Amino acid sequence: MILVNRREQIAWEEGLTVARLLERLRFTFPQIIVSVNGELVRRDEYGTRAVPDEADVRVVHLMAGG
């Protein structure tokens, strides 16, 4: 299992990347900041950066606006 935003438990899968995780979560908003185990992930690394099992993932959506 991995923990998303200190709340949601998501089942881990073999080969899980940041991009795949965002897709599973339906996090489609473009202005997000992703960190895996405290480390920021650049947008161009989403497709390649692996998310290990038990990871603490934060996905901060920036819109405080509307």
Partner 1 sequence: MTENSREASSVLAKHTYTVSAVVRGYAGRTLYVNVGDGVIESKPVTQEMKDKFIGGRGFDLWLLWNGVADDTKWDDPENEIVISSGPCGGTTQYPGSGKSIVATVSPLTNVVIDSNAGGHFGPLLKFAGWDAVEVQGKADKDVIVVIDGTTGTVRIEVAPEDAPGDTHLLGRWLLDRYAADEEARRYTSSITAGTGSEHTRMGCLNFSLYDRKRQDLRYKQAGRGGIGTVLRDKRIKALVVRSRPVKGDSNAPADLGRISRTGAEMHREVREFDPIQNRMRSRGTSYLVQIMDDYDLLPVHNFRYGSHPDTPQINGDVWEARFTQGLPDGCWYGCTIACAHAVDGYEVKSGPHKGQIVIVDGPEYETIAAVGSNCGIFDPDVVLEINFYCDTYGIDTISFGTALGFVMECYEAGVLDTEKTGGLELSFGSADAALAVLHQMGQGEAFGEVVGLGIRGMKRYFVEQYDTDARFLQDIGMEAKGLEYSEYVTKESLAQQGGYGLTNKGPHHDEAWLIFMDLVNNQLPTFEDKAEALHYFPMWRTWFGLCGFCKLPWNDVVHPKNAQSAEPSKIPHHVQNYVEIFSGVTGREVTSQDLIDMAEGVYNFQRVFNIRLGYGLREHDAIPYRSVGPVTAEEYESRADRYDEQLRELLNLEPETMSTEEKMSALRVHRERQYELLIDAVYERRGWTADGVPTLSKLQSLGIDYPEVVAVVERHL
Give the footprint of partner 1 on this chain (CB under 8 A).
Answer: 5-7, 26-31, 33, 40, 42-43, 58-66
Give the position of tokens 């200190």.
6
| Least Å from the CB of residue 1 to partner 1 | 16
Nearer to partner 1, 15 or 66 (CB): 66
| Least Å from the CB of residue 35 to partner 1 | 8
| Least Å from the CB of residue 21 to partner 1 | 14
Q: Which amino acid is at 32?
A: I
Across 25-63, b (16+ Cβ under 10 Å) vs e yields eeeeeeebebebeeeebeeeebeebebeeebebbbeeee
